[in-house]
Amino acid sequence: MKSISLLALAALASTASAQTRVTLYGLVDVYVARFSGAPSGVNATHTPVKRLESGGMTTSRWGVRGTEELGDGLSAGFELSSFLRVDGGQVGRSDAVGAVAADPFWSREASVNIADKQLGRIRLGNFSTPMFSASLGNNAFLSSTAFSPLNVVTFIGGPLTGGSGWTNQVGYDSPTWDGISFTASVSAAEGQGGRNSSAGVYYEEGPWKASAIWQSVKKNPLTFADGTSPNNTKAWQLAASYDLKAVKVFAHAGVIQNDGTEVTSVAVKYKIWELSASVPMGRGSFLVAYAKRKTDDTVAPVAATVFGGNKKREVYSAGYDHFISKRTDLYAVVMHDSTVTSTLPGPGRLVDASATNFGVGIRQSF
């Protein structure tokens, strides 16, 4: 009887695995660095700090995803993914920040989807925004939130609100027709103020890749995954890249409109530019990038000791990423960060600050 039961379980497991593919995956990234300032930039009294951090080139994470083939080109799937802070062993990217709670356990992604090869894919749950996904996939430093100038001036300590992913989200991704596809999503308000919405168009053909993304954020944050600011913002971003084989070049242009809150409205427009390149060298790539965020509008002055570049911020990065195997790489990056901040006691006083940061790290995926 015991042998029959074991055979029955083996047959059941074999049938299940044939119908559903489940994958456990993850990435661990740790680096040592000498950094001045905060994610929002350097201030007038910055002091260099030596530290060991998680997520230099890619934010550390782990997750599980599965896909079930339903036949006739139809499939269903799910994904659950969590951020990790390898340096301290904590879950998520941050603890509570003021009134904003820490990252939930599955804050990177918690979604279910159904897809048809002819009609496209619908996703439900918590997952990355189209603008965040387009930015990460289309600059020389890719998903780095520590060293990528584009990601630093746009998402990390920047005026864009809503975080990198939206909860309570319904998203649609179209099939690709002659290199062109589009996406659209909406995040229900559910007591967090207004709703969020986004739309985008992508083109990829041969060495060319381009995207145009728009988004509107009106939800107030509950957790760090929602961002830390309740400001309503609208943003658009144009991106393009071209692979010359000897070098791959990237460019971005965008605008972030900060409208403040329903209680305290403002009207500050930030312009963003980015240029970067990736040059294959040996078993790795030499990476270089520059990004700038600037506003000509009047911004509220802050204390000179506050981190940030609310008038202008420029970031330069250069580094080398060397793969010692298919899944493991070593990297070294130098980043120069500079800000111009309107400070107290009056809005006419501008203070410059700058710092040169560097880090070396190791990244391994599974």
Nearest to 287 by CA among 324, 326, 252, 250: 250
- Residue pLDDT, tens place only, 18-63: 467 999 999 999 999 999 988 888 888 888 899 999 999 999 999 9
Structure tokens given for 252: 């971005």
d(CA 196, CA 160): 13
Q: Tell whether the model's pLDDT for residue 7 goes beyond 50.
A: no
pLDDT of residue 241: 97
What average pLDDT does this structure show over 148-160?
A: 91
- Residue pLDDT, tens place only, 265-286: 999 999 999 999 999 999 999 9
Structure tokens given for 326: 């298919």
What average pLDDT does this structure show over 131-144?
A: 93
* Sequence-distant (≥ 6) Cβ neighbours of residue 91 within 8 angstroms: 82, 83, 84, 85, 103, 105
Nearest to 129 by CA among 61, 60, 67, 213: 213
Q: Tell whether the model's pLDDT for residue 12 goes beyond 50.
A: no
d(CA 322, CA 331): 6
Q: What is the pTM of this model?
A: 0.90
Residue 40 near residue 307 (C-beta atoms within 8 A): yes
Query: Residue 63: phi, psi to the nearest 5?
Result: -170, 180
pLDDT of residue 15: 46
pLDDT of residue 11: 46
pLDDT of residue 19: 65
> Which of 16-25, 94-103, 133-142, 186-195 bottoms out in mean pLDDT, i.e. has the lowest?
16-25
pLDDT of residue 24: 97
d(CA 243, CA 277): 10
Burial 28-59 (b: 16+ CB within 10 A, else e): bbbbebebbbeebbbbeebeeeeeebbbbbbb
What is the set of domains in the chain, with CATH numbers?
21-365 (2.40.160.10)
pLDDT of residue 306: 80
pLDDT of residue 261: 94
- Residue pLDDT, tens place only, 57-109: 999 999 999 999 999 999 999 999 999 999 999 999 999 988 899 999 999 99
At 153, is the pLDDT very low, low, confident or very high (cuts 50, 70, 90)? very high
Residue 337 one-letter amino acid: D
Nearest to 223 by CA among 330, 119, 110: 110
Which uninterrupted H or E stretch holds 18? helix 2-19
